[in-house]
Amino acid sequence: MTFQDVGSVGELVGAIASIAMLAYLAVQVRQNSEQLREATRVAKTTNMDRTIETFSRYRSLLVQPGNAELYARGLESFAGLNAADKVRFTAILQEYFFSYRGLHVRTTQGGYEGLAPERGEYA
């Protein structure tokens, strides 16, 4: 066997190794893409869960004894509230606006796009 024959065998082995490496990389890229899609879906579902939780906190404030009445009085006349009630009313409104701000940010950043209710995800 001459050096040229050995070189030809080496080139053949190298070509086969290159094809095997490309096939392996294609599988890895496909797996990575699927993992990224799943992570994105989970993040979007988590965004929806966070939004529901923040608005639930707001609603739970309103159902506490006296807060619904305070809220109604504050909407009617903030100036008519005493100092302590103004603080409580303001805290309730801030909770609502913080919740709404979170919803707005997640919506504008695409945090809910692509969720599919037929797969048990939120619409």
Q: What is the pLDDT of residues 53-99, one digit of tens each?
A: 888 888 888 888 899 999 999 999 999 999 999 999 999 999 889 88
- Residue 14 makes CB contacts below 8 A (sequence gap 6+) with none
User: Is the sign of the CA dihedral 56, 61, 62, 63 positive or negative?
Assistant: positive
pLDDT of residue 87: 94
> What's the rounded mean pLDDT across residues 30-37?
93
